[in-house]
Amino acid sequence: MATEATQADRKTGTVSRVLRDYGFISSEEFPERDVYFKTSWFRGSPPLREGEDVTFEVKAYGNDLQAELLQRVHEEAVLANVTAPQEPPEPSGPSTDRLLDWAYMGHMPNVLAELEGLALDERWEFKSTPPNSAFPFPILRSYLLETFGRLALKQQVLVNEDRSFAAFNTGLVDRRYEPIHALFVPNPDPRNRWQLAKFCIAAEGADGQNLVRYFSPLPSAAHYFDNATDLLYDPRRGTPALNWEHIIIQNIDRYPREFIEDHWPSGFEARETTGMSAEERDAYYRDLGAAIEDESRTYRRIMNRVKDAIDLSIKRVQWNFKTAIPTYYPRVRRLQLLLPLCLVSDDQVDLALAVEKTPSGSYLGHTVLQLDWAYKNARLVCRPDSDWLSPEEIISEGDEDER
């Protein structure tokens, strides 16, 4: 491990370019090439801007120069006037909640196959998922990325004292119900600070032994709730209050095609969306939502049908408390519950309604989710034991980023 650099080891330069995730520094000490840095590595506030003078330590990786421990020049001056001895920086977790920005994972199909083979048997693909060697196990991929995001948010991605290892608990278990951890080592490539060494079980194999040697206690699994009652929907509180504009108008594209056709606004031209670009499709459904909003009778018909579906869902909860499924929605970083909505037929669940229990004890409905998206979010909390949300029965509508 490299020792802490002295003040004389620090270089000076000017930020010449700042892109979204990366930046470059020009320095008289390196006249023929710029020094690279990742914007997330700068811990000051506000973020660095082009034209600012900085000091930094430099590391060489092949032909690349990487800037580390960046500071603005005026911040450096302030620190120089501090006479009290400075403690070395404490090991810290990632400055990003995006796993693929923080670490080099390798070839993701192989990584996912390794994790799937180690974990307790579980279905990680939907009913309609076609064989795709370049993009296998879409549920597992979503689970791994979003679990890391939660752990990073809660500072549960651990780095050991000399920063020779990093690790997190995947939340998955092997066939003996032993926790599976992800172990990382420093990455010589400056584009990512860490690289995946292995998925491992504590004390088993060289990586599992290193996990125990360098981490005590071991990394803990992601945690989503403190009160077990938050996992249950209380039917005595009645039906949730809804933001109808968001539930219907802004998300009309999530509703079943047959349902939309049965509630079509007069005068609006129906078009085939299959060949549309993402921008064209979004614009088309925005116009459709606006047409529904302008036609009060159609709007009320859809509202009434959704209300009927919610009433039926609450009856199902009264009959079987497992009907309401705990879920974690990464975009709002909050535990919610999923309720099934049967819109076309009472025998077929078409959408999931995400609801939140408020401090008053009542429920607030936030959004409707297509079932593949709903399952991925629910799987973060635990594998659903459900009679209506199962990957064996879900036809995937594609990755949520595409919608």
| pLDDT for 110 beyond 70 | yes
The β-bridge partners of 56 are: 11
> Tokens 């609450």 appear where?
314
> What pLDDT is attached to residue 18?
79
Same domain, residue pair 395 and 358: yes
pLDDT greater than 60 at residue 360:
yes
- 350 inside domain: yes
Q: Is 106 left (phi over 0), alpha (psi -120 to 50) or beta?
A: left
201 alpha-carbon distance from chain centroid: 24
Confidence label for 62 from pLDDT (cuts 50, 70 and 90): low
- CA neighbours closer than 13 Å in the CB half-sphere of residue 234: 13
pLDDT in tens, 250-276: 999 999 999 999 999 998 999 998 888
The mean per-residue pLDDT over the stretch 74-78 comes to 49
Determine, yes or no, domain membership for 221: no
| pLDDT tops 90 at residue 69 | no
- Scored b (16 or more CB within 10 A) or e, 290-308 reads ebbbebeebbeebeebbee
Other residues' Cβ atoms within 10 Å of the Cβ of residue 247: 21
Residue 89's pLDDT band (cuts 50, 70, 90) = very low
Q: Are strands 30-38 and 53-61 parallel, antiparallel or unpaired?
A: unpaired
- E strand or H helix at 54: strand 53-61
Spatial CB neighbours of 72, under 8 Å, sequence gap ≥ 6? 44, 48, 52, 53, 54
Query: Cα–Cα distance between 87 and 84 in angstroms, integer?
Result: 9
Q: Are residues 108 and 28 in the same domain?
A: no
Does 90 map to a domain? no
Band of residue 215 on the pLDDT scale cut at 50, 70, 90: very high
What separation in angstroms does the CA of 168 have from each of 26, 66, 122?
36, 26, 21
Q: Are residues 159 and 305 in the same domain?
A: no
* 21 and 164 share one domain: no
What is the reported pLDDT for 397?
66
- Per residue in 279-331, pLDDT (tens digit) is 899 999 999 999 999 999 999 999 999 999 999 999 999 999 999 999 998 88
Joined together, the tokens standing for residue 166 give: 């990093």
350 compared with 395, residue with greater pLDDT:
350
* Same domain flag for 303 and 194: no
Please tell me whether residues 49 and 168 are part of one structural domain. no
Domains contained in the chain, number: 3
Q: What is the pLDDT of residue 396?
A: 82
Phi, psi of 311 (to 5 degrees): -60, -45
For 48, the domain range is 8-80
Confidence band (pLDDT; 50, 70, 90) for 371? Answer: very high
Q: Evaluate whether residue 43 is within a structural domain.
A: yes
The pLDDT > 70 percentage for the chain reads 89
Q: What is the mean pLDDT of the chain?
A: 87
SS3 339: strand
In the chain, what percentage of residues exceed pLDDT 90? Answer: 63
Q: Would residue 92 count as lying in a domain?
A: no
Q: Which three-class secondary structure state does DSSP give residue 353?
A: strand
- CA-to-CA dists, residue 325 to 230, 395, 400, angstroms: 11, 19, 19
Residue 222 lies in a domain: no
The answer to whether residue 2 is domain-embedded is no
**Do 194 and 279 fall within a single domain?**
no
Range from 72-81, 170-179, 220-229, 282-291 carrying the lowest mean pLDDT: 72-81
DSSP H/E element including 62: none
Are 324 and 182 in a shared domain?
no
CA distance 183 to 193: 13
Angle between helices 278-294 and 296-319 (to 10 degrees): 100
Please report which residue ranges of 82-214 form alpha helices under DSSP H. Answer: 99-102, 108-118, 138-153, 205-214
**What does the DSSP assignment read for 203-229?**
TSHHHHHHHHHH-SSPPPPP---S-GG
Q: How confident is the model at residue 2 (pLDDT cuts 50, 70, 90)?
A: very low
Helix ranges (H only) for 59-199 are 73-80, 99-102, 108-118, 138-153
My answer on whether 55 and 147 are in the same domain is no
Q: Which of 44-48, 107-111, 209-213, 215-219 has the lowest mean pLDDT?
A: 44-48
Q: Residue 23: pLDDT band by 50, 70, 90 thresholds?
A: confident
Tell me: do 149 and 205 sit in the same domain: yes
- Clarify whether residues 69 and 210 are in a common domain: no
Contacts of 277 (CB under 8 A, 6+ apart): none
Do 344 and 371 form a contact (C-beta atoms < 8 A)?
Answer: no
- Whether residues 372 and 288 fall in one domain: yes
Average pLDDT (72-101) is 59
CATH number of the domain within which 62 lies: 2.40.50.140
